[in-house]
Amino acid sequence: MAKELTQNEAKGYFGEFGGSFVPPELQTVLERLDEAFQTYQKDPAFMEEYNYYLKEYVGRENPLTFAERWTKALGGAKIYLKREDLNHTGAHKINNVIGQILLAKKMGAHRIIAETGAGQHGVATATACAMMDMECVIYMGTEDIRRQELNVFRMELLGAKVVSVDKGNGRLKDAVDEALNDLVENYETTFYLLGSAVGPHPYPKMVHYFQSVISEESKRQILEKEGKLPDAVVACVGGGSNAIGAFSAYLKDEDVRLIGAEPAEAATLTEGVPAVLHGFKCLCLQDEDGNPAPTNSIAAGLDYPGVGPEHSALKLSGRAEYETVTKAEVLDAFQELSRTEGIIPALESAHALALVKKLAPTMTEDQIILVNLSGRGDKDVAEVKRLLEE
Ligand SMILES: *Cc1c(COP(=O)(O)O)cnc(C)c1O
């Protein structure tokens, strides 16, 4: 994507990570976006509207459920589940989508573009566009369209136009490039809605802001239920949006351990090296030639060779810890939560659960683990059936 690189040192860095490595014409568009975000973030009417839709459309606040049977089964720390799976569309992604769409409206855009790999961000975006009466164009690699037929149909039902990208490998990266080209051409009417805590500045900070509702709620809820903060907060990490939302309100509470779970097959924070990817600097998995390495996670939402710049910085500073879990551990946790709690988790979320399964027994009964259940697993049952039969 980057032809001439410009680097904005002043803004958008988390330690050495983040920034904005994009062509000059895109830099101008991003600066305009940052200004608008800074303005509306402080505007009480904007935040009132955002909170209105979170309540009336998304269904917040969602519960913090005590996982009583699972806690007993594991024997150790008390486990609480933050129920992002109960949001409209079944995951945390909608929190950010609502925030960015409202910002787009304020900026005078009537057309939303987004890219999607597995289709989950595309579906959340198409959903909110239908409700807000915005034109919606979703860029998707040809290969991903083939693999995600049902999500493509969902997006079309919701009134979105799905554009097939057959450049490159026909995957997420190629869809990102096409979406960015569209944005540079049509920035006066068009808003690029990014789905995770990645990308050039100001996206990581914006997504952090719109997802922080997760931990603002959970902190209030745990104090109400237990009268103290949790000992650990656990979340899965793909690009890092549900994790940063789950960690945000606890960042300054040094006694609360913040732990991210990533797939052994896409262990960006564990094995990555600093590099520039998709317009920002982060820890990144590379092959021998320095290109982004292919990843192979069973959870589509975690299958990305990069990760948000803020997580990259939290890893280096040691404020957050990141651990890998294996495919077998994930499948085991997926089934165990279903059986003990009657909740089928998303495969992504099952990565966090797999880590909790190892962590809880090492802790005492008066300690608390809060795990972010980022999404529900209905979308994954066919895949899990296939994997278990293998
Ligand atoms: C997309 C997705 C993720 C991964 O994205 P993050 O930005 O890392 O949160 C995790 N869980 C679910 C349910 C998802 O849909």
Residues of the chain with CATH 3.40.50.1100: 21-52+93-207, 59-91+211-389
Please name the residue whose Cα sits nearest to atom 13 of ligand 1.
375
The Cα–Cα gap between 152 and 172 comes to 14
pLDDT digit string, tens, across residues 267-313: 999 999 999 988 999 999 999 888 888 888 898 889 888 999 999 99
**Given 78, 82, 93, 357, the catalytic residue:** 93
Q: Identify the CA nearest to 93 among candidates 223, 171, 207, 5.
A: 207
The Cα–Cα gap between 252 and 135 comes to 40
Q: What are the structure tokens assigned to 320, written together?
A: 């957050």
β-strand partners of 369: 79, 232
- The mean of the pLDDT values for the chain is 94
Question: How far is the centre of ligand 1, averaged over its atoms, from the C-alpha of 25 (Å)?
Answer: 30
CA atoms within 13 A on the CB side of 251: 16
What pLDDT does residue 242 have?
98
Task: Indicate the DSSP class of residue 118.
Answer: S
Q: What are the structure tokens assigned to 157, written together?
A: 């039902």
What pLDDT does residue 10 have?
54
Give the number of other CB atoms < 10 A from CB of residue 63.
12
What pLDDT does residue 4 have?
41
What pLDDT does residue 293 have?
87
The Cα–Cα gap between 195 and 199 comes to 9
* Residue where the block lists tokens 């039969």: 389
What pLDDT does residue 73 have?
98
Question: Catalytic: 9?
Answer: no
Which fold, 21-52+93-207?
Rossmann fold (3.40.50)
**Any idea what the Cα angle at residue 381 is, between residues 244 and 210, rounded to 5°?**
20
Q: Phi, psi at residue 26, to the nearest 5°?
A: -80, -35
3-class DSSP state for residue 300?
Answer: helix
Our measurement of the distance from residue 325's CA atom to the centroid of its chain's CA atoms, rounded to an integer in Å, reads 18
Question: How far is the centre of ligand 1, averaged over its atoms, from the C-alpha of 121 (Å)?
Answer: 9
Q: Phi, psi at residue 301, to the nearest 5°?
A: -70, -10
The overall pTM is greater than 0.85: yes
Residues with CB under 6 A from ligand 1: 91, 93, 120, 196-197, 236-243, 301-302, 346, 348-349, 374-375
Question: Catalytic: 312?
Answer: no
10-residue mean pLDDT profile of the chain (390 residues): values are: 43 93 93 96 97 98 98 98 98 98 97 92 97 97 87 97 89 84 93 96 97 98 98 98 98 98 95 93 92 87 92 97 98 98 97 98 98 96 94
User: 213-234: buried (b, 16+ CB within 10 Å) or exposed (e) per residue?
Assistant: bbbebbbebbeeebeebbbbbb
The Cα–Cα gap between 274 and 242 comes to 22
Helices (H), the chain: 24-41, 44-53, 68-74, 93-106, 120-132, 142-147, 149-157, 172-186, 203-211, 213-226, 241-247, 268-271, 309-317, 327-341, 347-359, 381-389
Query: Who's near 336: CB < 8 A, 6+ residues apart?
Result: 70, 73, 353, 357
Burial of 190 (0-12, 13-18, 19+ CB in 10 A): buried
What pLDDT does residue 1 have?
37
What pLDDT does residue 54 have?
98
Question: How far is the centre of ligand 1, averaged over its atoms, from the C-alpha of 90 (Å)?
Answer: 11
pLDDT digit string, tens, across residues 39-92: 999 999 999 999 999 999 999 999 999 999 999 999 999 999 999 999 999 999
User: What's the CATH number of domain 59-91+211-389, 3.40.50.1820, 3.30.470.10, 3.40.1080.10, 3.40.50.1100?
Assistant: 3.40.50.1100
